[in-house]
Amino acid sequence: EPEVTQTPSHQVTQMGQEVILRCVPISNHLYFYWYRQILGQKVEFLVSFYNNEISEKSEIFDDQFSVERPDGSNFTLKIRSTKLEDSAMYFCASNTPPSGRNEQFFGPGTRLTVL
Amino acid sequence: KQEVTQIPAALSVPEGENLVLNCSFTDSAIYNLQWFRQDPGKGLTSLLLIQSSQREQTSGRLNASLDKSSGRSTLYIAASQPGDSATYLCAAQLTNFGNEKLTFGTGTRLTIIP
């Protein structure tokens, strides 16, 4: 069964460093998302992406964040200068064009630890 | 702005009991409601998705219902097992647009006591 994959599973970085989190969505999906979950808190929407453009972003997704689809398979989230409060689990998700169910499929997550 | 609430935050029940988890949402104009399971430190496993045109969905021992008018969804787990111990999250989606985000609740941490 097709699945969303994410790498790395765990990333440790120093405050102020740039990180890139990678996702490979399900191959025929066209809509992509990033969510994050700070430890003990709810899963929060960051950004949605379609047709090489951001469709919607939350107030969390400030100028330190960027997304891109550099090739036909990867979808990346870049944090330019990490802060301690960026420590969280980051989830990538994808789905197909509206097909009735419009179900989003999630990857296993990348745990980001900022020291 | 859609707000999703799950009460209680934690629940412990003896093995074998049936149980109900609750999810409330403020905007009744939702398109679908998805239930997820999350094991500690792990990702999100989709359990059930109910579209607004449906009232319930079943998968094995799980049954999810949706009442849009009251802004509520429930997840019923029959004959609970220790392996059901996890955090259960519900998430609402407002439209059927392909890029519509999910709004998550805070989750209910379920412990099944052997």
Written as tens digits, the pLDDT of chain B (114 aa) is 788 999 999 999 999 999 999 999 988 788 889 999 999 888 899 999 998 888 899 999 999 999 988 999 999 999 999 999 999 999 998 876 667 899 999 999 999 999
A106/B44 touch (CB, cutoff 8 Å), yes or no: yes
Looking up tokens 């960027």, which residue turns up? Answer: A66
In a mutational test of the B interface, the residue from A28, A30, A31, A43 whose CB has the highest number of chain B CBs within 10 Å is A43
* Cis, bond preceding B82 (omega within 30 deg of 0): no
B101/A91 touch (CB, cutoff 8 Å), yes or no: no
Number of helices (H) and strands (E) in chain A: give both, helices first.
0, 11
Query: Residue B80 carries which side chain, given as an amino acid letter?
Result: S
Mean of all residue pLDDT scores within chain A:
93
- Could you tell me the CA-to-CA distances from A61 to A30, A56, B99 in Å, in that order? 21, 10, 16
B40 touches chain A (CB under 8 A): no
Picking from A27-31, A43-47, B17-21, B84-88, which range would have the lowest pLDDT averaged per residue?
A: A27-31
The CA radius of gyration of chain B, in Å to the nearest whole number, is 14
- Cα dihedral across residues A30, A1, A42, B41: positive or negative: negative
- Give me the pLDDT at residue A100, please: 64
- Give me the pLDDT at residue A99, please: 63
B99 touches chain A (CB under 8 A): yes
Cα distance between residue B48 and residue B65, in whole Å: 10
- Give me the pLDDT at residue B28, please: 78
Q: What are phi and psi of B60, to 5 degrees?
A: 60, -125
At residue A72 the predicted structure's pLDDT band, cuts being 50, 70 and 90, is: confident
Provide mean pLDDT across the span A83-109: 88
Q: Provide the token pair at A101.
A: 């169910």
A43/B100 touch (CB, cutoff 8 Å), yes or no: no
Q: Of A5 and B52, which is predicted with more confidence?
A: A5
Q: Provide the token pair at B26.
A: 């403020």
Contact B52, B58 (CB under 8 A): no
Measured in angstroms, the CA of B90 and the nearest CA of chain A are apart by 10
B43/A106 touch (CB, cutoff 8 Å), yes or no: yes
Q: Which residues 6+ apart lie within 8 Å of B53 measured at CB?
A: none
Contact A80, A54 (CB under 8 A): no
- Out of B91, B97, B101, closest to residue A98 by CB: B97
- Give me the pLDDT at residue A48, please: 94
- Give me the pLDDT at residue B112, please: 97
